[in-house]
Amino acid sequence: MRKVDVVCGVVLHNNKILICQKGDGPSKDKWEFPGGKVNIGESKEDSIVRELFEELKLRVFPRNEIVSYNFGNYNLIFIECICLEPIEIILNEHRDYVWCSIPSLNCYKFVDGDVEFVSYLNQNFLNGIDSHGNKDTKKTS
């Protein structure tokens, strides 16, 4: 059986990452990296742009794929995105959102599919990701 491609936006702004709290379903109140299923004939980049606009009215520029892995019937694809100005989030599907540092991600309960990615970020980008997509070498407090 072919896995369904799902894009997850790793949206960066001021060295923080956007996470969103689910508002319904079996994962209600858990946090996630926003995104959704890639439509047939759609590129990963076009998909993440569409999904983030539909869910959050947020305009982004997708920079690169950070990592992907299989989870259940899904191929989760985490894509680094830079916010385009102005940044105004309107929640259409989520209950809440926060901008947080990578170390702060551990304070939130994530949907099962995103837990591995949070671990990946903590192992590889503990000090954060700068606005150019590079590891941030500055110490965080």
For residue 67, being part of any structural domain is answered with yes
Given a cut of 80, whether residue 1 has pLDDT beyond it is no
- The answer to whether position 57 is within a domain reads yes
Structural domain including 9 reads: 4-124
Q: Is residue 140 part of a domain?
A: no
**How confident is the model over 58-73, as a mean pLDDT?**
96
Decide if pLDDT at 137 tops 60.
no
Q: Alpha-carbon distance 80 to 64, whole Å?
A: 5
| Distance separating alpha carbons of residues 80 and 63, to the nearest angstrom | 6
Give domain status of residue 139, yes or no.
no
Cβ contact 50:122 at 8 Å: no
% of the chain beyond a pLDDT of 90: 76
Residue 61 belongs to a domain with what CATH number? 3.90.79.10
pLDDT tens digits along 2-29: 899 999 999 999 889 999 999 888 899 9
For residue 26, being part of any structural domain is answered with yes
Tokens of 111: 């949907």
35-37 and 94-100 strand pairing: unpaired
Q: Is residue 66 part of a domain?
A: yes
* DSSP helix/strand/coil, 105: helix
The conformational region for residue 105 under phi > 0 = left, psi -120 to 50 = alpha, else beta, is alpha
**Confidence class for position 129, pLDDT limits 50, 70, 90:** low
Is 70 domain-assigned? yes
Domains in the chain, number: 1
Domain assignment of residue 129, yes or no: no
